[in-house]
Amino acid sequence: MIFFLLCSVTKEDEINVKAVTRKKSSSNVVSLGLNVMIRSDEKRMQYWEKYEKNDLGVSVADLINYAGHVTRFQSFFMDFVQSVTTEINEQKLPPKVINKIKKLIPESDVEIVADFANEIRLSVQNYSMVVLQSMSNLKHLPTKVKRLAKVAKTYERMGKEIIPIPKIERLFNIEELRDNFRSLQFLSNEGLGLANYFFEVYQSVAPMSTDLKDFIELKKKLSEQLESAMMHQEEILREKITAERNLKLQKEFKTMYEGYIKDLSSSSTNKEGIWKTIVDTDIKKAETEKGNAEKRLHDYTYRMWGPFVDMWQNDVAQAKIDVDKWTKVLDRLTVEKKRGFQNDVMEKKTEHYKELMIETVAEVQEHGDNLTNVINP
């Protein structure tokens, strides 16, 4: 009888069973999330009824689900730690591992495996709190964008092109969002590092077959080789982008200087007009390049943290040099413009641009060679 009942189960029945299982699992997660986030029993019931009717907003559902998943992970992880033998939990951590942990969390005070597990639990908890805070802030972003659009239209009707920064800052706390994302990056790397170290420790103290340990060690080495290859590829890509940018910039300067020399050497009687056009063009170019250098400095500094300091420190140093260089060029041109046109200036500027032309031709060749070496090492 049981055999015939089992044979009568259709594919549709299997799908329905899986759907019910998924729904039950999802319900457990939502229940955990509601219990963590909402203290009031009455409020919890209101949100649960909305969940049952599929009436929860997407952003609210995401927040509750995330809190539930984190809580479930914490529960499973600590249950795993508590279920292993006391002998394993009380094993002392190797000094090498303790030093690695202290590099990630200087204030940590771990001595045994159980301490380490608790440190991971706290790391996950800290990460989840920042995620929830960030998700809460981002939830209001679409509404704030709509409000900003209304403000922009109002200013447009008033004939004003620029919205004052304080008015924008009332809508968007950019610094708060930036801090949240920085914290997410730091905590994510901290958690990943701790998890890897914990697995390393557990392998050394837990009973494992030699074949399994060899497999895990081989997998670890291959992962390290892959990561190293990807880092190397990233470095080559950055070198290529830098070489292409420098080559393009020097070619632009070469074209500019050729035009300047031609104009300055002409027999035109409007020498003051030629001088003014050249100075204004140079100032505009210097402002653009200074702005580009400042943006690179900002972006590279933002990326240079934790394990990525070595990767970006040369780019940050070069960006600082570029900012300083274009600041000086801009200051010199501003002084020249304020001083005004002088009769002997044309000959001096012609010689100046001829010297720059020689330097630029050499730099075009140098950056072209650099690009070729990066593409075909």
What confidence category does residue 326 fall into, taking pLDDT thresholds of 50, 70 and 90? Answer: very high
Burial 350-368 (b: 16+ CB within 10 A, else e): eeebeebbeebeebbeebe
Contacts of 376 (CB under 8 A, 6+ apart): none
Contact 72, 32 (CB under 8 A): yes
* pLDDT at residue 328 in the model: 92
* pLDDT at residue 290 in the model: 92
Tell whether 368 is covered by a domain: yes
* pLDDT at residue 23 in the model: 47
What confidence category does residue 8 fall into, taking pLDDT thresholds of 50, 70 and 90? Answer: very low
Tell whether 148 is covered by a domain: no
Q: Give 279 or 186, the one with higher predicted confidence.
A: 279
Q: Give 326 or 104, the one with higher predicted confidence.
A: 326
Range of the domain at 358: 232-375
Instruction: Note the pLDDT tens digit of each residue in 240-278.
Output: 888 898 899 889 888 888 888 888 777 667 888 888 888
Helix-helix angle 345-375:210-264, to 10 degrees: 150
* pLDDT at residue 137 in the model: 62
Mean pLDDT of 341-354: 80
Q: What percentage of residues in the chain have a pLDDT greater than 70?
A: 72
SS (H, E, C) 27-54: HHHHHHHHHHHCCCHHHHHHHHHHHHCC
Tell whether 328 is covered by a domain: yes
* pLDDT at residue 322 in the model: 92
What confidence category does residue 227 fall into, taking pLDDT thresholds of 50, 70 and 90? Answer: confident
Tell whether 134 is covered by a domain: no
Give the mean pLDDT of the chain: 76
Q: Give 180 or 160, the one with higher predicted confidence.
A: 160
Instruction: Give residue for tokens 């045994």.
Output: 112
Tell whether 176 is covered by a domain: no
Tell whether 75 is covered by a domain: no
* pLDDT at residue 242 in the model: 86
Q: Give 9 or 332, the one with higher predicted confidence.
A: 332
Rg for the chain (alpha carbons), in Å?
Answer: 32
Instruction: Note the pLDDT tens digit of each residue in 86-141.
Output: 777 777 888 888 888 787 778 778 888 778 777 777 777 776 666 666 666 656 66
Is the per-residue pLDDT at 159 higher than 80?
A: no
Burial 210-231 (b: 16+ CB within 10 A, else e): eeeeeeeeeeeeeeeeeeeeee
Mean pLDDT of 27-56: 77
* pLDDT at residue 273 in the model: 87
pTM of the model: 0.46
Is the per-residue pLDDT at 327 higher than 90?
A: yes
Is the per-residue pLDDT at 315 higher than 60?
A: yes
Is the per-residue pLDDT at 9 higher than 60?
A: no
Q: Which helix (H) or strand (E) holds 56?
A: none
Contact 128, 36 (CB under 8 A): no
Is the per-residue pLDDT at 17 higher than 50?
A: no
For residue 92, list its beta bridge partners: 112
Is the per-residue pLDDT at 15 higher than 50?
A: no
Q: Give 146 or 239, the one with higher predicted confidence.
A: 239
Cα separation, 283 vs 241, whole angstroms: 26
Instruction: Give residue for tokens 């600082």.
Output: 320
Q: Give 353 or 25, the one with higher predicted confidence.
A: 353
Contacts of 283 (CB under 8 A, 6+ apart): 330, 333, 334, 337
Type of residue at 273: G
Q: Give 263 or 331, the one with higher predicted confidence.
A: 331
Is the per-residue pLDDT at 361 higher than 80?
A: yes
Instruction: Give residue for tokens 């990807």.
Output: 230
Task: Tell me how many domains the chain contains.
Answer: 1
What confidence category does residue 323 fall into, taking pLDDT thresholds of 50, 70 and 90? Answer: very high
Lowest mean per-residue pLDDT among 2-6, 52-56, 164-168, 326-330: 2-6
Q: What percentage of residues in the chain have a pLDDT greater than 90?
A: 8
Tell whether 277 is covered by a domain: yes
Lowest mean per-residue pLDDT among 169-183, 292-306, 330-344: 169-183
Instruction: Note the pLDDT tens digit of each residue in 163-183.
Output: 676 766 666 666 666 666 666
Burial 241-257 (b: 16+ CB within 10 A, else e): ebbeebbebbeebbebb
Tell whether 336 is covered by a domain: yes
